[in-house]
A and B are shown apart, each in its own frame.
Chain A
């Protein structure tokens, strides 16, 4: 009986980030990377994975040390931990996939100020045991990656006629360039939020 309960709590902590509390579509956190780097599917995916790495390891660390971190300087401590992992991921990407690293540019470094990551430390990891914190971080970052990927896919298909750099429509397709430019980011996310609202509204009524 008890193990069943803990399994359902585990899956609850994991799943809430993917749908019910999706960081981008529901909580509207981490907007800057969600819009800035999603001009193609592959960039969105890379950003999502980099954020996953940072969020997972900082949540784990914060949760491990949660009883040692003094309350007054907790935000500063979280930021130092996050900045350390961002530096790590910045160097890893520069070494492994220099092309993507060049394209994402300063936005990798800007993961530090992604409100999603700091928000999870403050709201969850600093209060919950390591296991739950890891699950929560994984769920949230998968939700974030899915959101980034779907924005990236839509913008790349509309704006470039391709998906993961594979041409979809052939010669006759006239790309809708505005979609891979900055305004496209705002518009696509705006319309995605509309769809999300509609689905949620239908469910509740």
Chain B
């Protein structure tokens, strides 16, 4: 049980996917103008990551021992098509949920955070439940980073910012400071 908590907190805070592995930066910089959009994107991320954990477990278990060189290609294609199927099912079964998350799903599927999750949990040799907890933690971490970033950016809209700094440069500097704050979590478990 302790192991699961450790994996979860590690992926959520200490080794945050966005702020310490630099994964999924495109949505982090691109879709973080508004708080509610960022939050929904985060939820969609958690959702896709869970599917990814299931797919990568299945592939690692049944396909890749026989053809290790197919790792990258199969991860990408299987994850992308699984997400596509779930999207279709969601559209049919729960149009409300689809309206909230749907538009983000294609955007996320080819995101480095998703492939990164599959690769990292394979490298770490996680089993089924560990992989699932890792996916939840990583997704939560991405959501947390997105929401924090969007919150700060909403505040900066009211400020008087020099034209030169506006845009990506400012966002990167904010992200740097956020990432510095997250480094404080590094000592969390070294008692």
Contact = CB atoms under 8 A, between A and B. Distances in A.
Q: A and B, one complex?
A: yes
Interface of A: 28, 31-32, 35-36, 76, 79-80, 83-84, 86-87, 90-91, 105-106, 109-110, 112-115, 118, 178, 181-187, 189-191, 193-194, 197-198, 201
Interface of B: 19-26, 29, 69, 71-73, 76-77, 80, 110-112, 114-116, 119-120, 123, 164-165, 168-173, 175-177, 179-180, 183
B23 A197 contact: no
B23 to A, nearest CB: 6
Main secondary structure of the interface of A (DSSP, over half): helix
Contact of A32 (B23, B76, B168): B23
Contacts of B176: 183-187, 190
Contact of B179 (A90, A106, A186): A186
Contact of A193 (B72, B110, B172, B180): B172
B172 A182 contact: no
Contacts of B71: 87, 109
B77 A190 contact: no
Nearest to A38: B22
A87 B69 CA distance: 7
A76, A118, A186, A198: most-surrounded residue (chain B CB, <10 A): A186
Contacts of A28: 29, 168
Given A35-B25, A113-B112, A187-B173, A106 B20 contact: no
B-side interface mostly: helix
Nearest to A118: B110
Given A109-B72, A110-B119, 13 more contacts: A36-B22, A80-B73, A87-B71, A91-B69, A110-B23, A113-B112, A182-B19, A182-B183, A183-B177, A183-B179, A183-B180, A194-B164, A198-B164
Instruction: List the 3 closest pairs (A to B, CB-CB), nearest first.
Output: A186-B176, A190-B172, A187-B176
B26 A36 contact: no
Given A115-B26, A201-B164, A193 B169 contact: yes
Given A183-B177, A190-B176, A112 B115 contact: yes
Nearest to A201: B164
B173 to A, nearest CB: 4
Contact of A31 (B26, B69, B165): B26
B25 A83 contact: no
A96 B63 CA distance: 28
B69 to A, nearest CB: 6
A182 B169 contact: no
B73 A106 contact: no
B172 A109 contact: no
B73 A84 contact: yes
B115 A113 contact: yes
Contacts of B170: 190
B86 to A, nearest CB: 17
Interface centre among A87, A110, A114 (most CB of B within 10 A): A110
Given A106-B123, A113-B112, A197-B164, A186 B172 contact: yes
Contacts of A79: 76-77, 80, 110
B29 A110 contact: no
Contacts of A178: 180
A113 B180 CA distance: 26
Contacts of B69: 87, 91
Contacts of A191: 169, 173
Nearest to A113: B112
B76 A183 contact: no
